[in-house]
Amino acid sequence: MKKEIKPVILEIPQGVSAEVKEGVVYVRGPKGGCKKDFNRIRVDIKVEDNKVIIRPIGRKRSDYAILNAAKKHILNLFKGVQRGFVYKLKIVYSHFPINVRVKGKMVYIENFYGEKEPRKAKIVGDLTKVRVEGDDVIVEGPCLEEVSQTAANIEQSTRIKNKDQRVFLDGVYIYEKGK
């Protein structure tokens, strides 16, 4: 007989509110709001008197791992709405100076290897902010997944194909992740 896995109980931090609607966890705090869909993850999540209770659906060893993954996702939501997440990217070029502009929900990388058409990267999420300071591109927001996906979109938009990446080093690269 398999051992019963104990539920994980997380305290909701001061100044943060959380609620669950149809498997989606909504968290609001001083930096904004964030949500995470847990419908595809085998856990049961409830909010009761300032605590988030996460229970696994099964009793297998893999269900214990899923339980801890869900716990970490919710803790990241709490950290994000309290302190926020910041990714820093560096603009690197050797010959053609790269220009990076933010317009609406898109980041435009102009003059990349002398190309006439700008490369584009999508900004994910409504609260994700992107700004350019000299040779740095700073992406910040309350949702870790949205901030990291936006930084990855910018980095991937300058990816070089069919050339030796040790020689062709131009691009925009993530160099720091933090809170």
Question: Does residue 159 share a domain with residue 126?
Answer: yes
Instruction: Please tell me whether residues 18 and 47 are part of one structural domain.
Output: yes
Whose tokens are 């988030």? That residue is 52
The CATH number covering residue 20 comes to 3.90.930.12
166 is in which domain, residue-wise?
85-178
| Full-model pTM | 0.89
Q: What is the pLDDT of residue 105?
A: 95
- Note whether 99 and 70 are same-domain residues: no
Q: Averaged in consecutive runs of 10 residues, what is the pLDDT profile of the chain (179 residues)?
A: 77 93 93 92 90 88 88 94 95 92 96 93 95 95 95 94 86 91
Instruction: Report how far Cα 179 is from the mean position of its chain's Cα atoms.
Output: 12
SS3 60: coil
Amino acid at 143: C
Our count of domains for the chain comes to 2
Same domain, 71 and 93: no
Answer left, alpha or beta for residue 65, where phi above 0 means left and psi between -120 and 50 means alpha. Answer: alpha
Q: Are residues 142 and 103 in the same domain?
A: yes
Within this chain, do residues 65 and 101 fall inside the same structural domain, yes or no? no
Residues listed for the chain = 179
- Both tokens of residue 32? 């904004």
What confidence score (pLDDT) does residue 16 get?
93
Which one of 56, 82, 108 terminates a domain?
82
**Encoded tokens for 128:** 């994700």
For residues 99 and 37, state if they share a domain. Answer: no
Same domain, 67 and 120: no
Q: How far apart are CA 89 and CA 105, in angstroms?
A: 18
Question: Quick one: pLDDT at residue 2?
Answer: 63
- How much helix, strand and coil, in percent to the nearest 5, is found in the chain? 20, 40, 35
Q: 98 with 77, same domain?
A: no
Q: Using CA atoms, how far apart are residues 36 and 76, in angstroms rounded to an integer?
A: 10
- Residue 95: predicted pLDDT: 84
